[in-house]
Structure formats: C-alpha cells, structure tokens
Copies of this chain bind each other. A is one copy, B any other.
C-alpha cells in the first residue's frame, strides 16, 4: 500500500480535465449524499457560535461533509467557501467523489496548503477539533500559518461535526438499514454451519467471506467468535478453538456497507444447557428487551443503561455486566452517544445506537445480545430483526 509523494511536484500528472465514469470508486453507493445540505447545517452552527472558519481533518467527518474517502484530507470551510486538500495519489478519486467543496491536489503538503489557504482568507480565526487533532498536528498548523498568525488556530469548545453526525439523515438511515439487514442475513446463513468441531476462525472466515461477496467493503471490527468458556471474554476474537459439543457461542460482528457500519451480537447454545445457563440467557434477553423498550426521544442515555442494568440487578447478575449498555454507530463503529450509567445526554430522533447488555462469568460462560436501534419520533426501531429467543443448535 502506498504513501503520498513529497518533492517531484513538478512531475505530477494533471488529470483535472479528464472525465472519469461515475462510480469508479464506490460502485455500491446508490446515490450521492446531500453534502451541500450538511455543509449548510454546519455553517449555521458555525455562525451561531461566531466561528469564522473550520479545519476538518478527521476522515469520517471529511467523508460526511464532502464525500471524499481517501486517507489524506484537510477540509477547510469558511462561511461561503470550502476546499478539500489532498495529494496526487487521489487526483482522480477526489474529483469524482467530492461534492460541495473545491478539490485541491497539493503540490507538496495538503496540510500546509490548507493552512495557508485559511490564513489567506483574511478571517480572524480558524477552529479545529481538539479531539481529533494531535499536539504535533497543531504545532504544524501553527508553523504553516506563521509568522504573525500564532493565535489563528483555536480549539472548538464543543463538538461540531460529530454533533451533526449524531442525528442521521434519511440517506444515512437508509444505508444503515441496508448494512444492518446484511448483518442479519449473514447471521441466518451462518446458523446451519455452527457445528461442534468447527474452529472459531472458520466461522469468522465464512461470515466475512459471505459479507464480502454480498457487497461489504470490510468488517466494521475484528469479528468476535467466542465459544465455550471463551464466551466469558467480552472481546473474545475468533481463535483456532473448536466449537464445543456443549456451551454458549457468542457472535459479535458488523459489516461496512457503503461506508456505514452495522453491529449485532447473538449468543446461541450448542447441546443441552444447565439451568444456570438458561437462567442467565433469559435474564440478559430480558435486560436487552427492557433497554430497547426504553428507547424514546427525551429519555437519557443513562436511563436506557439503567433499564438493562436494573433487570440484571434483580437477577443478581449486575456484578457480571462489566461494560456499558451501548454506543452510537454510523460511519464509525463507535460514535456518540454513549449508553452508559453516567450519561445525561437525551436521545433524539435520528440517533442510531446499539443496545448490548452482557453477563460474563469468568472461566464458565458469557452471554451478550445486541441490536442496532434507530430512535424514531415516538420510540425505537430495531434495525437488526433477528430473533433474540433462545437458540439451541
């Protein structure tokens, strides 16, 4: 895999005027997102906060705002102009993918040219996201914009683009449903193949192969396939361990389809369970259903977490539920909001979150059940409609 060039800028090929067939890069994106509308929303937020200009560098934020999916991007935004700076590896791709912003192929450094463009705009300040800017990057911004502009770059005091991304628009909801449904289909296809003796890695390989053949760009994280005692590991990646004759099997996986992540978990049982195993499964299922039922605009993330946790507390299992109840999902697998005990953020229509309580009894077994849920006007819609009922193989 290659890295960008520096130097030899004079030799760089020019493809600005060449016309490429559409969808050369992302054949699966059925249509362009409305980037102009997203930029308008962002500019309204900027204006309300007195922000002259903004430098966006977090790649999912860049993709969200202008469509570009390359690995080197500096998106500079003022009240009436926007320019996306990248390098020569992406000449054709950037021009094809990017809308609502001018594409600039930097001769040397996309970062430096973006900073200089912003300084030359004559505006007083430029904001940046301190949560996605390293200390080194900031020093380089300041170096590129000096002399006389030391204070030009200022950290945002509140989240701006991630805040917009919190509420999915109609285009995004459609794509997220497609990603989630693909996940459900893959799970159903996989069920007949879950037999004692099959290595966990073979299960993962089969799942991921089907995902790829059905259009997924990639998995959204390393698939969790944890069987037998390994089901007690919340993050039990697939290993060479073979599925047991008797015991739980936790499958936690997601696809990336058209850029959007899916995420779901199902725990099935091979063989005949003990009463304790069945009791634990039913308690986790009840906790998961309670949290899904609690999803509604205006309810806080902490309340949704508590809905799951209180069920497990009554069952005497809360001490084994060692993580939070869920998280936002979208272009990234982990986004705002966090569905955790200390979160006062209220749910709003258009958010997409996971609900995934689990119980892990170390060295014995574990159970987790996870759905993706979209917050609607009056409740929540489960996007991953595979049964959560007890499944015995």
Residues of A within 8 A of B (CB): 1-8, 11-13, 15, 18, 20, 23-28, 70-71, 88-93, 130-136, 138-139, 155, 201-202, 204-205, 208-209, 212-213, 215, 217-222, 224, 230, 232-237, 239-241, 252, 254, 263, 309, 318-324, 326-327, 333-334, 338, 340-342, 354, 356, 358, 360, 362-363, 368, 370
**Which of B88, B136, B326, B334 contacts A322 (CB under 8 A)?**
B88
The 16 listed contacts between A and B (C-beta, < 8 Å) are A2-B235, A3-B324, A5-B323, A6-B341, A13-B362, A20-B363, A24-B233, A89-B323, A91-B362, A92-B362, A131-B134, A201-B213, A201-B215, A208-B208, A217-B237, A218-B222
Q: Which residues of B lie under 8 Å from residue A134 when comparing CB positions?
A: 130-135
Q: Which residues of B lie under 8 Å from residue A155 when comparing CB positions?
A: 135-136
**Which of B254, B309, B338 contacts A8 (CB under 8 A)?**
B309
This chain: copies in complex: 2
Q: Determine whether the beta carbon of B319 is less than 8 Å from that of A234.
A: no
Among A5, A318, A363, max chain B CB count under 10 A is at A5
Give the Cβ gap from A326 to chain B, nearest Cβ, in Å.
8
Q: Which residues of B lie under 8 Å from residue A1 when comparing CB positions?
A: 220-221, 224, 252, 254, 263, 333-334, 354
**Which of B93, B139, B340 contacts A6 (CB under 8 A)?**
B340
A2 to B6 Cα, complex, angstroms: 40
Give the Cβ gap from A144 to chain B, nearest Cβ, in Å.
16
Q: Determine whether the beta carbon of B318 is less than 8 Å from that of A11.
A: yes
Give the Cβ gap from A162 to chain B, nearest Cβ, in Å.
12
Q: Which residues of B lie under 8 Å from residue A93 when comparing CB positions?
A: 233, 235
**Which of B5, B209, B322 contacts A91 (CB under 8 A)?**
B322
Q: Which residues of B lie under 8 Å from residue A15 when comparing CB positions?
A: 362-363
Give the Cβ gap from A320 to chain B, nearest Cβ, in Å.
6
Q: Which residues of B lie under 8 Å from residue A232 when comparing CB positions?
A: 92
A169 to B354 Cα, complex, angstroms: 42
